[in-house]
Amino acid sequence: MRRIRTGRAGAIAAAVAVAVPAVIAGTAGTAAADAGSLTVTTLNREGAKVTSWMTVTSLTPHAGDGVHEYQSGWPVTLAPGQYAVVTRIDDNGLNAQDGPSTLAAQIVTVADSAPTALTLDARQGKPLRVALDTPPGASYVQSIAARMCVAGVNDDFETTTGTRPTGGVYVIPTDDPQTRLGYHATWSSATQKEVWDVSGAIAPTGDPITVPRASLGTVDVKASTGPSSLNTQTAPLESDTQGTGCDQKLGTPNSFTKLPFEKVLHVSPGSWKFTLDTWHYDTTVAAGATTALDFGRAVWGPTRYLPFVQKGELGFFTSGLVADPKAAGADITINATATLYRDGKAVVTRTGLGNSPSAKGPSTFWAPISTSAAYTLKVHGYRHAAGVPQPAGMMSTGTDVAFSFHAGPTSDAVPPAFLTRFLPNGLDPYNHLPAGHAASIPLTLDRTSTQAGVPMWPSTAKKVEVFGSTDGGRSWHALTVSHTGGGWTAALPAQHAGAELSLSARVTDVGGNQTVTSVYRAFTVA
């Protein structure tokens, strides 16, 4: 929904209001001649008048409807009708972060050509209490975030508390059936592996909320290190509820900053987004069920993005050339060079591609497809960003991919191609394979439509070959590949300590089209 901020100009964090005109510019309805006015006064928990941001949303259809944002204490010109008013009253002033906050919501009717006054008093607020039926141990600390919504429309960030400790959030009860309270509470410990992460949307009655542990699902989270710049990342793991309810996108960070780590999260059933740095999983959690998530697992390489032909041009998005094989996201240090060959002859080469600050061009390779012919697109990606230090011993430093297919100016399709994701078993949390241990390497043949409106050419993989190298790709040795139950797996023999493994796969489909995917310094042997 469109949100319109009107009201006093100036910094949102200012605690003291300055003089403004009696009627704030901008209306949420019809002409001023037919308008009324609304003045909202907000009082903190000591009864002192404070200025608060508030969202005012029309529940009566008007021209120019939207979520309007104003400051309390000033008259607002509004068309006659019903409005939902939602605010957060900070005890220490506008948008203060160092004191209690009180959430309030009320539906008010604005009359034609008449002033309407509304007072929201934080002293009426009840503490937001969320508890588990069996409390965690004494080492656990609770943090909480909350939001008030009316009729599903007042859900912008100004109505939330942010993350606060227990006792820092109050809610003014209401029996209005359109009003909901969204909450998200987390219990975490610096010394314990388990975390409780619950959310929900309820009527804001002021009653304590008790969540049965048996109603939760389990998410096993592993964060490995080694192949990516996650080595130096300091952002915590974040969990956010998804969907359309009042609790959507309410999250509290779990402070796991040192990699690698393993955590067990017990969460409310529903849709969740789990984020670490720029990588994330969107997953659905069921009560009593367990979901496993891996961040930073080797091997990082090309994922998802396939070339496509549309309106006589071939396009390829280069920012996915070095990516987590399981979690979604983007590495921001990709540089790339791409060359398109037609019947074996190079016709277009572009450099400086990628999404790194060091890249000088766009992230997408474009080249004309002027004639029907056999084409090969070869792309080399490597990781470097000027001024951005890379972790010592970084793996998955570079990748190559080559797509061979037939196309013409009217093809308008994603060619028959498969990117290969390598998922070796037996690696430790630092993505090292123990010396002297053989490993199986399951393969995911990635064929995903990446361009809206462009259909996929039918394709079925017929043959998969995998090669390993311990000298950076100067020489390659074939690995045994098995095909069982629709899946492909390569067998890597035991390696000596200190070896650095590069991997390459060549996939041939039933039509003879081929894709070669190579990852250099994919993982090491310790």
A 10 A CB-CB count for 3 gives 16
Q: How far is CA 383 from CA 230, 294, 334, in A?
A: 13, 22, 5
Tokens of 389: 């230090």
Condensed to tens digits (0 to 9), the pLDDT of residues 452-496 reads 889 999 899 999 999 999 999 999 999 999 999 889 999 999 999
Q: What is the pLDDT of residues 36-76, one digit of tens each?
A: 899 999 999 999 999 999 989 888 876 556 678 899 999 99
pLDDT for res 448: 83
Long-range contacts of 49-52 (CB under 8 A, 24+ apart): 49/73, 50/89, 50/90, 50/91, 50/93, 50/94, 51/15, 51/16, 51/17, 51/93, 51/94, 52/87, 52/88, 52/89, 52/90, 52/94
pLDDT at residue 75, rounded to an integer: 94
Provide mean pLDDT across the span 100-126: 93
pLDDT at 327 (0 to 100): 92
Q: Predicted confidence band at 229 (pLDDT cuts at 50, 70, 90)?
A: low
3-state secondary structure 445-511: EECCCCCCCCCECCCCEEEEEEEEECCCCCCCEEEEEEEECCEEEEEECCCCCCCEEEEEEEEEECC
Q: Which amino acid is at 355?
A: N
Q: Terminal CA-to-CA distance of the chain, rounded, Å?
A: 54
Q: How confident is the model at residue 357 (pLDDT cuts 50, 70, 90)?
A: confident
**Residue 14 — φ and ψ, nearest 5°?**
-65, 135
Please check the confidence at residue 151 and state whether its pLDDT lies above 80.
no
Give the residue from 100, 121, 94, 246 showing the smallest Cα distance to 169: 100
Separation between Cα atoms, residue 420 and residue 323, nearest integer Å: 12
Q: Please report the pLDDT score of residue 68 as a whole number.
A: 83
pLDDT, mean of residues 184-198? 92
Cα 88–Cα 89–Cα 90 angle in degrees, nearest 5: 110
Q: How confident is the model at residue 506 (pLDDT cuts 50, 70, 90)?
A: very high
Task: State residue 198's pLDDT score.
Answer: 95
Q: What pLDDT is recorded for position 18?
A: 26
Which token pair is 24?
């704030």
- 54, 72 in Cβ contact below 8 A? yes
Check whether the bond before 299 is cis (ω within 30° of 0): yes
Helix (H, G, I), strand (E, B) or coil at 47: coil
Pairing of strands 194-202, 67-71: unpaired
313: pLDDT confidence band, cut at 50, 70 and 90?
very high
Which is more confidently placed, 92 or 434?
434
What is the pLDDT at residue 12? 23
- Gap between the Cα atoms of 76 and 79, Å rounded: 10
> What pLDDT does 490 receive?
98
Read off the pLDDT band of 248 (50, 70, 90): confident
Tens-place pLDDT, residues 373-410: 999 999 999 988 777 667 677 889 899 999 999 999 99
What percentage of the chain's residues is helix, strand, coil (to nearest 5)?
Answer: 5, 50, 45
pLDDT of residue 160: 54
pLDDT at 227: 65
Of the candidates 270, 172, 142, the residue with the CA atom closest to the CA atom of residue 216: 270
Residue ranges and CATH numbers for the domains of the chain are 3-124 (2.60.40.2190), 127-146+178-295 (2.60.40), 310-525 (2.60.40.10)
Residue 315: how many CA atoms within 13 Å on its side-chain side?
A: 19
138-162 as b/e: b if 16+ CB within 10 A:
eebebbbbbbbbbeebbbbebbbbb
Instruction: Give the SS3 label for residue 346.
Output: strand
> Out of 15-29, 62-76, 288-302, which region has the weakest mean confidence (pLDDT)?
15-29
- Residue 178 CA to residue 152 CA, distance in Å, equals 8
Yes or no: say if 439 and 467 are a contact pair by the CB < 8 Å rule.
Answer: no
CB count within 10 Å of CB 113 equals 11
Contact at 8 Å (CB) between 192 and 357?
A: no
The segment with the largest mean pLDDT, out of 190-199, 250-259, 335-344, is 335-344
Phi and psi, residue 340, nearest 5°: -105, 130
Query: What number is the average pLDDT over the span 315-329?
Result: 92
Q: How many CA atoms lie within 13 A of 229 on its CB side?
A: 18
Among residues of the chain, what percentage have pLDDT more than 90? 63
Average pLDDT score, the chain: 86
Asked whether residue 8 carries a pLDDT value surpassing 50, the answer given is no
Kindly calculate the radius of gyration of the chain based on its CA atoms and give it in whole angstroms: 28
Q: 227 — phi, psi (to 5°)?
A: -80, -15
Global confidence as pTM: 0.84
Provide mean pLDDT across the span 206-216: 96
For residue 38, the surrounding DSSP H or E stretch is strand 36-43
Grouping H, G, I as helix, E, B as strand and the rest as coil, residue 81 is strand
Q: Is 226 exposed, middle or buried (0-12, 13-18, 19+ CB in 10 A)?
A: buried
Q: Does residue 39 contact residue 75 with C-beta atoms inside 8 Å?
A: yes
Tokens of 367: 């080249």
For residues 213 and 164, give the distance between their C-alpha atoms in angstroms, rounded to a whole number.
22
The C-alpha atoms of residue 235 and residue 233 are separated, in whole angstroms, by: 6
